[in-house]
Amino acid sequence: MIEVNIDLQPHNTLAISANTAFFARVETLDELREALSFAQQKRLPILPLGGGSNIVLTGDFPGLAIQVGLRGLTITPNGRGGTIEAAAGEEWHQLVMSTVEQGMGGLENLALIPGKVGAAPIQNIGAYGVELCDFFCSLQAMEISTGALHNFSVSDCEFDYRDSVFKGRLRDQFIITQVNLRLEQDWQPRVAYPALQQFIGQQGWDCDSLTPAQIAAAVIDIRNSKLPLPDQIPNAGSFFKNPVVNADIYQNLKSAHPDLVAYASGEGWKLAAGWLIDRAGWRGRRQEAVGVHHQQALVLVNPGRGCGDDVTRLARAIASDVQDKFGVTLEPEPRYYP
């Protein structure tokens, strides 16, 4: 059923109030096709919604917001590995914990990431040294213009750091309906990330006998200690990507700032955006209704239920200061609508 003039505040984790001209919640592929047909007939732009954890509403949306409520989860264990078929409307964290509870390893580092399964491939979600693409098999997506279903392989998705083809050349052309993952039997814990190493050491755990459940527990504890829950303090999680720079820029920054937090990556050096924002003096600062979280500078919060422009101005001010102080460009992770 198509609803008219709906406030999207309950449907985005930043709790920004903005109306959409039309709204539909779809729970089957046929309902999704019907919603897309309605939008085509009226020549409306589409705003796909999962958990609303990766969007900034900068004003009222003049089109059709489609909340994708497709459900269905099939997990087939095979030793410590197995396969997963998950509909786009499933909760990502619940999927992770379902695999962990069955002794399957691979996704535990991605525990407690907010949002739905369908959003995960779009920005190739990642945390604590692991990315979705490490376990990705394929996905199914519906073409917005035709309602036809298409299958995408790993290479089709063109995954990169917090990026995919769905943020690039196929942007706004497909809505993901199902994601298929494969976890290998020869699972090995991935705990090189410093925060995980520290937690494991504090617990006195033996690194040679770690289980997926232990690592998931560590990740959940670390995230809870640093990141506010959106239902308590509205936020969109990590707001900026960790910028990647070449070796020369890294060495210059390291010489000027010996405590710089950075990690070697395939493309060069990945700088901790939270460290840059903190050292630029933004951690804990408030700018009217919005601000920067006092424990994690990478998280912008909206405790005063400000508008999208408030969030945008804050993000631009932070990026400008980081550019001036470090010569590094910050890129937001969330997508802005309209």
Per the DSSP assignment, residues forming a β-bridge with 54 are: none
Residue 1 has what pLDDT?
A: 87
Tokens 């198509």 belong to: 2
Q: What is the DSSP letter of 284?
A: T
- pTM (whole model) above 0.85: yes
| Catalytic one of 80, 91, 164, 238 | 238
Catalytic residue from among 90, 91, 108, 333: 333
Determine the Cα–Cα distance for residues 11 and 187; give it in Å rounded to an integer. 36
The whole-number pLDDT of residue 226 equals 87
Using CA atoms, how far apart are residues 137 and 132, in angstroms rounded to an integer?
10
Compute the distance between CA of residue 20 and CA of residue 61 in angstroms, rounded to an integer.
Answer: 5
- Which phi and psi (to 5°) does residue 156 adopt? -60, -35
pLDDT on residue 159: 97
What is the predicted pLDDT for the residue at 105? 96
Cα torsion at 103, 104, 110, 112 (round to 10°)? -40
Q: How far is CA 279 from CA 257, 276, 290, in A?
A: 10, 5, 19
Helices 212-226, 194-203: inter-axial angle, 10-degree rounding: 110
pLDDT by residue (tens digit) across 134-168? 999 999 999 999 999 999 999 999 999 999 999 99
Domains of the chain: 3-68 (3.30.43.10), 73-183 (3.30.465.10), 235-337 (3.90.78.10)
Give the residue from 43, 66, 183 showing the smallest Cα distance to 116: 66
Residues 6+ apart with CB under 8 A from 332: 56, 239, 240, 241, 315
Catalytic residue among 80, 162, 223, 283: 162
Instruction: Establish whether 91 is a catalytic residue.
Output: no
Q: What share of the chain is helix, strand, coil (3-state, %, to 5)?
A: 30, 30, 40
Is 27 catalytic? The answer is no
pLDDT 10s digit of each residue in the chain, 338 long? 899 999 999 999 999 999 999 999 999 999 999 999 999 999 999 999 999 999 999 999 999 999 999 999 999 999 889 999 999 999 999 999 999 999 999 999 999 999 999 999 999 999 999 999 999 999 999 999 999 999 999 999 999 999 999 999 999 999 999 999 999 999 999 999 888 999 999 999 998 899 999 999 999 999 999 889 898 999 999 999 999 999 999 999 999 999 999 988 877 999 999 999 999 999 999 999 999 999 999 999 999 999 999 999 999 999 999 999 999 999 999 999 99
Q: Is 171 in the active site?
A: no
